[in-house]
Amino acid sequence: MNSGQASKATGVSQRMIRHYEAIGLMPPPDRRDNGYRDYPPRSVERLRFIANARDLGFSLDEISALLELWDDRARASSEVKAIALEHAEDLARKSAALEAMRRTLLELVDGCSGDARPDCPILEGLAEPRKRPERDLTECAGKPKAET
C-alpha cells in the first residue's frame, strides 16, 4: 500500500507518517520502482498502534517503549501494564490540575455581573497575585514536554 493509502487506512497524515519514520517509530518503507513508499500490512498495523496510543495521550517516548514491547513476543505483560498505569496516573494528575483551573475560572466568572459597566472582577482577579502551583500547568494541559 502506498503512503496515501496507508494514511487513509490509519487516519495518520502522510506528513506524520514521514515524521514517525524520521524519528524511528516507523521503519523505513520499501520503495517501488516508481519511487513510491510501499507499506506492508505490519507497517499499517504499527501506524494504527501509534495513532491509537497518541489518541490516549501517550508521549512519543512512551510509544517507543510500547512499540519495543509490542515487537518483543517474549515480553512480560507486566511491563506494558506498568507503562499504562503510570500514564493513567499522569492523566489523573493532569485532570485534577485542569479541574482546579476550571474551578478558579468559574469563581472569577461568578463574581462578574456581566453588565455594561467597565469594572470587571474577572480581569481584576487575573491581576491578583496567586499561589503558583509547583508544576507548570501548561504541561498539565497536555502540552508536550521537550519531545520531538
Domain that holds residue 107: 90-140
Query: What is the β-pairing status of strands 30-31 and 37-38?
Result: antiparallel
69 domain residue, yes or no:
no
d(Cα 71, Cα 84) in Å, to the nearest integer? 17
With respect to residue 82, please indicate whether it lies within any of the assigned structural domains: no
Q: Let me know if residue 95 belongs to a domain.
A: yes
Vertex 20, ends 56 and 23: CA angle to 5°?
Answer: 115
Q: Is 74 a member of any domain? A: no
Whole-angstrom distance, CA of residue 43 vs CA of residue 20: 11
Q: pLDDT value at position 117?
A: 87
Does some domain include residue 76? no
Does residue 65 form part of some domain? Answer: no
User: Is 119 inside a domain boundary?
Assistant: yes
Q: Determine, yes or no, domain membership for 98.
A: yes
Q: Supply the CATH number for residue 40's domain.
A: 1.10.1660.10
Domain match, 51 and 95 both: no
Task: pLDDT tens for the chain, 148 residues: list them.
Answer: 999 999 999 999 999 999 999 999 999 998 988 888 899 999 999 999 999 999 999 999 999 999 999 999 999 999 999 999 999 999 999 999 999 999 999 999 998 988 888 889 899 999 988 776 665 545 555 544 444 4
Q: What is the pTM of this model?
A: 0.75
- Residue 90 burial class via C-beta count within 10 angstroms: exposed 0-12, middle 13-18, buried 19 and up: middle
Domain count for the chain? 2
